[in-house]
């Protein structure tokens, strides 16, 4: 009669050559955990299923290897973005330039001058990195880089407006990705929210009226992920700044997207730029590094030197500070703008700069290589909470398959995974968002899936 006593012990399993191989691959502690997990699972199934069979030693070792592989398989993987969404938040937003990647690689391979002054040989400050580049690009007196734009806004409000009034238009009390809301961020900072205007109508007189009482900041938030259209009214930033400064109140502009160039050049609507906010007289401007700027995830704060100095000294600044990889990648990205090479070197800018003719040529080459499919007209979008409702004309590879759902599942299981989109039971691939160096892997993956 088969009983649980027939199961090999952990020690017996460890004596095998297969176990020695697993230990060499995964380490002894993790291998031991996996063996015990498999044995415990076997015992539980034996008792619940009332089976008379137990796995032999080879099967236990196979199950142990499968368990170890599952436990150690990475969940953060590179993918091929053929969806046509340039700043796909779920896919990590902006892919980095080669120079940014090299810069991050160099400073993370060994030690760096992150907080060391090479001139004096004494302790330095990480806060100086990227600051001079941001000053040159934007004309700001000072700058600070933190880990994302939400933390930048939280830090500014905490440092400059804790327990004080912050005036903001009702039309700008937005919710950003993940359910985070501007009013909630303001509450966490300790600032006192003062709403002016209505959802669709905000007048300069609303700001002037609110500024009659002691106020720490007037805050403008750019609606980067939605539009309000129809019966609307909102004063220009320069007019808000003028009224605020007359009352002795600084203005904070939360731009979010972080464009350093005119998106209208690419056939899109104009996205307010960082430089425009500075020219309008904003005292503090916050924006993202990984959206329209095209760099690593970062929150960037620029503005008046005295205000930035207060922000840098706030205790929260340490909690949300950027690391060496971010600072290196951001600095390299900013240099592309200073050297007027962003359209050539920064992937997301290059994608927007692509002509319809260039995109169509790639799609036609894909059809020829695959020996099937067709080229159809379509639209690419910017995404990433930027330029809502805006799209660019594109051409797509269209594949007619038996089951679009099953084909999409197979694409996601490919190595590397391929992210596409479906329409009318057809699977569509947009060349605009496929990096040139990934094109070969895309075609190999498609060929294999189409054959299976």
Q: Enumerate domains of the chain plus CATH numbers.
A: 4-72 (no CATH), 80-88+350-451 (3.90.1150.180), 95-345 (3.40.640.10)
Residues 6+ apart with CB under 8 A from 341: none
Instruction: Work out the pLDDT band at 172, boundaries 50, 70, 90.
Output: confident
The span from the CA of 208 to the CA of 241, in Å, is 11
Question: What is the biggest distance separating any 2 CA atoms in the chain, rounded to whole angstroms?
Answer: 93
Residues 6+ apart with CB under 8 A from 415: 445
What would the two tokens of residue 304 be?
A: 């008046």
Average pLDDT of 40-47? 85
Contact (CB, 8 A) for 383 and 87: yes
Average pLDDT of 153-167? 94
pTM: 0.91
Instruction: Work out the pLDDT band at 224, boundaries 50, 70, 90.
Output: low
- Give the pLDDT of residue 385: 67
- Give the pLDDT of residue 185: 80
Residues 6+ apart with CB under 8 A from 293: 94, 258, 259, 260, 287, 300, 333
Average pLDDT of 164-187? 78
Contact (CB, 8 A) for 306 and 158: no
Q: What is the CA radius of gyration of the chain?
A: 28
pLDDT at 406 over 70: yes
Average pLDDT of 252-276? 90
Task: Provide the β-strand partners of residue 195.
Answer: 168
Q: Average pLDDT of the chain?
A: 92
């Amino acid at each position: 009669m088969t009983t649980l006593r027939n199961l090999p012990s952990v020690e017996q399993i460890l004596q095998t050559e297969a176990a020695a191989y697993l230990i060499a691959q995964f380490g002894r502690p993790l291998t031991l955990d996996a063996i015990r997990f498999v044995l415990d699972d076997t015992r539980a199934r034996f008792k619940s299923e009332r089976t008379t069979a137990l796995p032999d030693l080879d099967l236990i070792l196979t199950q142990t290897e499968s368990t170890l592989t599952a436990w150690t398989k990475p969940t953060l993987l590179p993918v091929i973005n053929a969806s046509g969404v340039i700043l796909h938040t779920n896919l990590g937003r902006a892919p980095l330039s080669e120079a940014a990647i090299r810069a991050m690689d160099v400073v993370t391979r060994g030690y760096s001058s992150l907080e060391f002054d090479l001139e004096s040989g004494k302790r330095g400050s990480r806060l100086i990195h990227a600051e001079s580049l941001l000053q040159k690009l934007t004309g700001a007196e000072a700058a600070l880089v933190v880990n994302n734009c939400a933390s930048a806004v939280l830090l500014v409000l905490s440092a400059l407006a804790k327990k004080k009034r912050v005036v903001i238009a009702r039309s700008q009390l937005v919710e950003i990705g993940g359910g985070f809301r501007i009013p909630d961020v303001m509450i966490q900072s300790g600032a006192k929210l003062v709403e002016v205007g209505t959802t669709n109508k905000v007048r300069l007189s609303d700001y002037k009226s609110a500024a009659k009482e002691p106020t720490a900041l007037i805050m403008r938030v750019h609606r980067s992920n939605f539009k309000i259209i129809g019966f609307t009214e909102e004063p220009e930033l320069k007019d808000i700044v003028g009224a605020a400064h007359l009352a002795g109140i600084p203005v904070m502009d939360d731009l979010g997207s972080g464009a350093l160039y005119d998106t209208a050049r690419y056939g899109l609507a104009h996205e307010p730029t960082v430089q425009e906010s500075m020219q309008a007289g904003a005292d503090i401007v916050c924006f993202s590094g990984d959206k329209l700027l095209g760099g690593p995830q970062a929150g960037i704060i620029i503005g008046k030197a005295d205000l930035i100095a207060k922000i840098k000294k706030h205790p929260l600044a340490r909690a949300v500070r950027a690391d060496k990889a971010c600072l290196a990648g951001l600095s390299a990205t900013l240099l592309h703008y200073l050297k007027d090479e962003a359209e050539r070197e920064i992937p997301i800018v290059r994608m927007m700069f692509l002509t319809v003719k260039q995109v169509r040529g790639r799609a036609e080459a894909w059809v020829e290589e695959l020996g099937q499919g067709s080229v159809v007209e379509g639209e690419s979008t910017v995404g990433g909470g930027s330029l809502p409702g805006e799209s660019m004309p594109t051409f797509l590879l269209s594949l007619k398959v038996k089951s679009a759902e099953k084909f999409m599942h197979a694409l996601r299981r490919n190595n590397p995974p391929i992210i596409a989109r479906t329409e009318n039971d057809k699977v569509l691939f947009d060349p605009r968002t496929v990096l040139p160096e990934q094109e070969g892997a895309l075609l190999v993956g498609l060929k294999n899936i189409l054959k299976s």
